[in-house]
Amino acid sequence: MIDVPATQRVDAQRLASMIEDARQRTYELTDDLIDARALGPQLSIVNPPLWEVGHVGFFHDYFALRALHGLPDYQQGDAERLYDSSSVEHDDRWELALPDKATTYAYLGAVREAMLARLPDSGLASEAQSYVYQLTVLHEDMHTEAFTYTRQTLADAPPPLPAESPAVPGGGSLDGDVAVPGGEHLLGSDAEVAFRFDNEKPAHTVTVEPFRISRAPVTNEAYRAFVEDGGYTRPEFWSEAGWHWLTEAGLKAPLYWRRDGQGNWSVRWFDRWIPLAPNEPVAWVNWYEAQAYCRWAGRRLPTELEWEVAASRVLTGDASALAPGKRLYPWGNEPFPDSQRANLDGVRLNTVDVGAFPDGDSGCGCRQMLGNVWEWTASRFDPYPGFQADLYQDYSEPWFPEGRRVLRGGSWATRARLMNNNHRNFFLPDRNDVPSGFRTCAAAN
> Within 84-219, where are the H helices?
101-117, 127-153
**Could you read off the pLDDT of 386-428 as tens digits, one per residue?**
999 999 999 999 999 999 999 999 999 999 999 999 999 999 9
7 pLDDT band, cuts 50/70/90, is: confident
Q: Is the pLDDT of residue 240 over 70?
A: yes
What CATH number should be reported for the domain holding residue 112? Answer: 1.20.120
Q: Stretch 58-84: mean pLDDT, rounded?
A: 97
1 pLDDT band, cuts 50/70/90, is: low
Residue 161 lies in a domain: no
Contact indicator for 50, 36 with CB cutoff of 8 Å: no
Q: Cβ neighbours of residue 352 under 8 Å, at least 6 residues apart? A: 168, 171, 280, 343, 372, 412
445 pLDDT band, cuts 50/70/90, is: low
Residue 227 lies in a domain: yes
Contact indicator for 125, 9 with CB cutoff of 8 Å: yes
252 and 388 both lie in a single domain: yes
36 pLDDT band, cuts 50/70/90, is: confident
Q: Stretch 166-170: mean pLDDT, rounded?
A: 91
- So what's the pLDDT on residue 334? 87
Residue 378 lies in a domain: yes
Chosen domain end from 126, 153, 180: 153
103 and 174 both lie in a single domain: no
Write out the H or E segment, with its range, that includes residue 437.
strand 436-437
Cα–Cα dist 56/136, whole Å = 8
Q: Is the pLDDT of residue 217 over 90?
A: yes
Going by C-alpha positions, the residue among 190, 349, 336 that lies closest to residue 269 is: 349
Domain total for the chain?
2
Contact indicator for 237, 300 with CB cutoff of 8 Å: no
**Tally of CB atoms within 10 A around 81:** 11
What range defines the domain where residue 243 resides? 166-445
- So what's the pLDDT on residue 335? 79
Cα–Cα dist 398/299, whole Å = 32
**Could you read off the pLDDT of 342-388 as tens digits, one per residue?**
999 999 999 999 999 999 999 999 999 999 999 999 999 999 999 99
Residue 189 lies in a domain: yes
**Could you read off the pLDDT of 250-265 as tens digits, one per residue?**
999 999 999 988 889 9
Bridge partner residues of 406 (DSSP): 426
| Planar angle of CA 318, 334, 138, nearest 5 degrees | 125
- So what's the pLDDT on residue 195? 94
Going by C-alpha positions, the residue among 163, 147, 113 that lies closest to residue 27 is: 147
Cα–Cα dist 416/141, whole Å = 9
Give the CA dihedral 156, 157, 161, 164, nearest 10 degrees. 140
- So what's the pLDDT on residue 4? 87
147 and 171 both lie in a single domain: no
Max CA separation in the chain (angstroms) = 66
**Could you read off the pLDDT of 99-115 as tens digits, one per residue?**
999 999 999 999 999 99
123 and 199 both lie in a single domain: no
Instruction: Determine which of 12-26, 161-175, 288-302 has the lowest per-residue pLDDT on average.
Output: 161-175
- So what's the pLDDT on residue 402? 95
How many angstroms separate the first and last alpha carbons of the chain? 51
Contact indicator for 272, 385 with CB cutoff of 8 Å: no
Residue 3 lies in a domain: no
Q: Stretch 274-301: mean pLDDT, rounded?
A: 98
- So what's the pLDDT on residue 6? 82
136 and 223 both lie in a single domain: no
315 and 193 both lie in a single domain: yes
Q: Cβ neighbours of residue 20 under 8 Å, at least 6 residues apart? A: 112
Burial class from Cβ neighbours inside 10 Å (0-12, 13-18, 19+) for residue 210 reads: exposed
Residue 159 lies in a domain: no
253 and 127 both lie in a single domain: no
339 and 272 both lie in a single domain: yes
Residue 269 lies in a domain: yes
What CATH number should be reported for the domain holding residue 250? Answer: 3.90.1580.10
Chosen domain end from 119, 153, 187: 153
Stated length of the chain:
445
Q: Is the pLDDT of residue 35 over 90?
A: no
Chosen domain end from 110, 126, 153: 153
| Planar angle of CA 237, 431, 29, nearest 5 degrees | 145
| Phi-psi region at 222: left, alpha or beta (left = phi > 0; alpha = psi -120 to 50) | alpha
Cα–Cα dist 11/153, whole Å = 38
Q: From start to end of 232-301, where are the E strands?
A: 257-259, 265-269, 272-275, 299-300
Where is pLDDT greater, at 418 or 4? 418
132 and 193 both lie in a single domain: no
Q: Is 27 helix (H, G, I), strand (E, B) or coil?
A: helix
Contact indicator for 365, 179 with CB cutoff of 8 Å: no
Residue 5 lies in a domain: no
Contacts 24+ apart (CB under 8 A), 91-100: 91/42, 93/47, 93/48, 93/51, 94/39, 94/42, 94/48, 94/51, 96/51, 98/38, 98/48, 98/50, 98/51, 98/54, 99/54
Q: Is the pLDDT of residue 275 over 80?
A: yes
Q: Is the pLDDT of residue 337 over 90?
A: no
200 and 138 both lie in a single domain: no
Amino acid at 180: V
- So what's the pLDDT on residue 25? 96
Q: Stretch 318-329: mean pLDDT, rounded?
A: 96
338 and 439 both lie in a single domain: yes
Amino acid at 393: Q
318 and 412 both lie in a single domain: yes
**Could you read off the pLDDT of 116-158 as tens digits, one per residue?**
999 999 999 999 999 999 999 999 999 999 999 999 999 999 9
Cα–Cα dist 191/240, whole Å = 41
